[in-house]
Structure formats: C-alpha cells, structure tokens
Amino acid sequence: MDIKSLEDRVDELITTVDRLRSENKTLRESQTNLVSERDKLLQKTEQARVRVESMIQKLKAMENE
C-alpha cells in the first residue's frame, strides 16, 4: 500500500468517524426528547386516571343517595 492510498483511507476513516459522531449526537438528543415526551404523557395519563376515578366515585355516591 502506497502513501497516497493510505492517506485516502485515513481521510475516509476520519469522515466516517465525524459522520458517526454527528449521528450519535443526533440520536442522543432524540432519545432525550423522546424520554421527556414519554414522561409528560405518563403524567397526563395519570392525571386523567385520577380524574376518571374521582368521577366514578361521585357517580357511585349519587347512586347511593
């Protein structure tokens, strides 16, 4: 392998590493955003569950009157 082809190969590897770093950063940011969104949705679901249970209890209380 001559010096030129070795240089070309090293350049290719540097380009690949840079691309992978960028993709990795994007994926980590996406994961952070998705985890945050999931947490918000879980919180909203829990709030809705509590409200529904409260309404059910009120309806049962009205039935017993």
Per-residue tens of pLDDT for the chain, all 65 residues: 699 999 999 999 999 999 999 999 999 999 999 999 999 999 999 999 999 999 999 999 998 87
What is the C-alpha to C-alpha distance for residues 12 and 27, in angstroms, rounded to an integer?
A: 22
* Six-digit token string for 11: 């350049």
Burial letters for 24-43: b for 16+ Cβ neighbours within 10 Å, e otherwise? Answer: eeeeeeeeeeeeeeeeeeee
Secondary structure class of 49 (helix, strand, coil): helix
* Amino acid identity for residue 61 in this structure: A
